[in-house]
Structure formats: structure tokens, C-alpha cells
Structure 1
Amino acid sequence: MQMMSPPQGIMVPQGLLGSLSYLASLNEVVIHQHLDLLECCGNMRPFTLNITDNMNQHIFQLHRPYRYVGSCLWCCCLQEMDIQSPPGIIIGSVKQIWTCWSPKYQVSDAQGNPVFMINGECCYCACCTDIIFQVSDANSGVEVGRIIKQWGGCREIFGGVNDFRVQFPVEMDLQKKALLLTATFLIDFVYFERNNNNN
């Protein structure tokens, strides 16, 4: 994924690269992702994902350790991912919370304090419809955004292309927007890349 250079005149929070400030004026980000899983481990494999701007400068670096992706009964293999911006500086993490049915994730800041809870639908494999993950403030429980997996039609069935919309208030803290945006990649990797394991 590439992000555009930041608009002029927007101040950048300390510790974040300038290109990240582009999020400050947005209330929605659209992600068009094409991911090829060539390894035999498929979506269980560890990865380091670099997200750059149009000047090829790193904005985020995402680190996910090896984790088994299987039945919800495997509570010892919950998914997690660290988020760095710039690379080497951890700004937060995303961790799966064990539930019997529907997906649930906790997004935390650099100190490990919960920022968001992300709750998915119990049927996240439905065809011909969008799939919504509700984002709530971890303290108040109030919904503050959504991660929407958009139905992609035939190209989604036959290829490894996924489209997401990440929605949040325009006035949301820039770093929180960044954490929410990057959480989308782990959700995509865990729930929507399974059909590509044999590519």
C-alpha cells in the first residue's frame, strides 16, 4: 500500500514520519490490496510489511509472528501484530481476543493501554455482501468507526484482491487513525486470505 505525501500546513506529532500526517484531514481510507501467499505456510506465516509513501519513504512497518490460523478453539494461537512508525519505534499493537464465534481484537498504544475494541460479525465469510467490523472506544464502548470488507464480486472469487474501507471521525487523534488503519491488514490476513494459500 502507498500513501500520498502530506498536505502542506499540517503539523506532525513527534515520532511520526511526515507522510503519516496525511491522515489528519481524512475520515475514511480505502485500501485496495493484492497479496500473494506463495509460501507453504500460507496465512500462518510470519511477516514484516512495509508501507511507504509515494516518495518510497517508510510510514509503517508491521510485524506479525508465526501463528496457526484455524479453529476458534485454538485459544493458545491468538493473532497479534506490532506496529512501528517510523521503523524501530513501536506505536502500538493489535491482539486477538478469544471468543467462541465472532472475531474480536484489541488495539493498544505503545504503552499497552487499550485504545479500540474491534468486533466482527459471526459470519465473516458471507458472499455478495459487505462485512462490517465495528470499532469501539476501549474505555467508553462507544462506536467510533468501522472497518468494512467490501464485496468484490467475481474478481474476489478468482483472485487475491480485497477492498476495505476504514472509517473514523476526521477529528480523531492521528496516531489512533494510524493504529486503526494498520489493524485492517491483520484482519484481512487472518480472515480473507485463506483462499490464496495454494497460489
Structure 2
Amino acid sequence: MEGFQMQPGFGQVQGPPPTTALDYLSTLDEIRINQKIDVAEVVTGIDMRNRYSVENAAGQQVLFCSEESGICQRMCCKEHRGFIVHVADVTGLEVLTLTREFKCCIFPCCADPTGRYALQVTAQGIKIGTIRQAQQCCPFPPKLTVESSTGQELFHMEGPTCVCHGPCCYADVPFNVYSSGGLNPVATISRTHAGFVQECLTKANNFRVVFLQGVDKSSKVLLFAATFLIDMMFFEHDK
């Protein structure tokens, strides 16, 4: 993979002190994740490394994220590529690392469980949990699970049967989050419409994470991280 570098000026954001970045994130009932528009990508059509701003409901940026990946995988494997997302606080200090290894999925996921996508979430080298594509023969509706650091299932997520997005699809695309064994959603991760021009000309995606009830600090961090796997699996391809 190419070496990871912070973008000049990208860390000049408003937010909490760096030592409390994740604590502050856990106090929010709504998180907005907006992918930055890359002019070079728009002009050339070549997939560049994704960058995101993380904001609270008032629009104040509290974290920023940058993808580390190889250009060959971005060009040839597209949304199937392996990647690392570095999540940094206002000083540029990395507070979370999200890693998905590249897997060549030749067989259906029901026949080859090892081919399922999984995102490992770590904080300063300590594993927090894993977001994993659920094993299912039919890919729709899409399902994912959220596991603790020990592999215990904490939540499961289910998206809509039709994951439609684009300039003419104005409705949000929600992924409802349920506690293990629960029937009522405890959170929702939604891909939101970014406006006609952005939807037409770019592949940049915007998301909103809303916590409804009973979600603790570490779980909020994992559900925040799950947004990046959802983005790569279902919305990174060309519109």
C-alpha cells in the first residue's frame, strides 16, 4: 500500500481536545460522515484515496479520516480492494484504525465463509471489535454483524432490499441496527442524498449515524466504524 500521509490543512478542524476525541464521539446522538470531493478523481476518473470529515449534528468537524490503499487495487479491484482507514483527532493523532484485508471472492459467500468481508477496528493497537459481512446465500437484503473484541455478536444490521443511490434517488438508504436478539432498532446508519450536482459528477458519499437507545461508548465507536465498510461494499462503485 502507498504510504499514509495526512493532507496539508485537513487537520485544521474544530472539536474536542485530542485526549477525549473518542469520549466526545460517544456522547453524540448523531454523527455525520461526509466524503471529501477529490477534484483529481472527477477530472481523470481514476479512483483516489477516500477522505472523510466527521461532524456532529451542528456541523462542527470533530474527526477526520483518510484511506490508505494501493493504486493498483483501487483501479482494478474498485470496491473489493483492501484498505486501512486512519481516523485522526484535531491534532492529527490517530485514535482509530480500521482495516479490511483484500480477499479474492471467487465462490459465493455461502460456500466460502472466509471470503466474507470483515473490518477490524483497533484503537492505539488494541482491538475493539470487528464488523463482518453476514453469511447468507442470497445477498439481499444485505446483512452485517458487529462483534466484540472476543468475537461475541453485539449487533446485527440489515439494509434495504434495493440499495439504490444516484442523482434521482433522493431517499435515504438506511441500514437498521439491532441488538443481538432484539426486534427494535437501536441505531440507524443511512446513506444520505448529497445533492444533484455532487451525485451526478462524483462518487463522494454522505452518511448519518443516529443512535436511538441504549448504545454504550464502545458500541458507538464500532457502529461509527461500520459506516466505512458499508460505504465500500455498497456505495463505492460507479453510479
Same fold, TM-score > 0.5, yes or no: yes
1:96-124 Cα deviation digits (max 9, x unpaired): 11331111000011111111111000100
Give the conservation status (yes or no) of the 8 Å contact 2:32–2:206. Answer: yes
8 Å CA contact 1:107–1:179 kept in 2: the answer is yes
Displacement of 1:25 in angstroms is 2.2
Which of 103, 111, 121 in structure 2 is aligned with 1:83?
121
TM-aligned CA deviation for residue 70 of structure 1: 9.1
Larger relative contact order (Cα-Cα within 8 Å, sequence gap ≥ 6): 1
| TM-score (structure 1 length as normaliser) | 0.83
Residue 177 in 1 paired to residue 224 in 2? no
Aligned-partner residue type, residue 206 of structure 2 = D
Indicate if the aligned counterparts of 2:186 and 2:214 stay in contact, CA closer than 8 A. Answer: no
Assess, with a 3 A threshold, how the Cα gap between structure 1 residues 83 and 4 changes in structure 2: closer, same or farther. Answer: farther
How far apart in 2 are the matches of 1:138 and 1:108?
Answer: 10
Amino acid at match of 2:77: C
Unaligned runs of 5+ in 1: 9-16
CA apart distance, 1:7: 6.6
2:172 corresponds, among 105, 130, 136, to 130
Cα separation, partners in 2 of 1:187 and 1:69, compared to 1, 3 Å: farther
Q: Shift of the alpha carbon at 1:169?
A: 3.7
Partner of 2:45: none
Q: What residue ranges of structure 2 are gaps of 5+ in the alignment?
A: 1-9, 39-47, 50-70
What's the counterpart of residue 149 of structure 1? Answer: 191
Q: Tell me which residue corresponds to 1:60.
A: 96
Aligned to 1:41: 77
What does 1:158-197 correspond to in 2, within 5 Å?
Answer: 158-169=201-212, 172-195=215-238
- 3-state DSSP of counterpart to 1:141: coil
Once the two structures are TM-superposed, the CA of residue 171 in structure 1 deviates from its matched residue by 5.7
Letter of the 1:149 partner, please give it: R
Write the distance in 2 (CA, Å) between the matches of 1:131 and 1:27: 19
Distance 1:186 1:51, change over 3 A: same
- The offset of 1:78, in angstroms, is 1.6
- Aligned residue for 2:162, secondary structure, equals coil
Q: Relative to 1, partners in 2 of residues 1:78 and 1:167: Cα closer, same or farther, differing over 3 Å?
A: same
Cα-to-partner distance string for 1:40-99 (whole Å, 9 max, x where unaligned) = 22121111110001111111100101135799x44433211100012x111000011133
Q: Give the 3-state SS of the residue equivalent to 2:16 in structure 1.
A: coil
How high is the sequence identity, in percent, across the aligned residues?
A: 30
CA distance in 2, matches of 1:170, 1:122: 25
Mapped partners of 1:109, 1:5: distance in 2: 28
User: Residue in 2 aligned with 1:13?
Assistant: none
C-alpha distance in 2 between matches for 1:41 and 1:56 = 29
Provide the rounded CA distance (Å) in 2 between the counterparts of 1:132 and 1:69: 26
Q: Is contact 2:185-2:212 (8 Å) kept? A: no
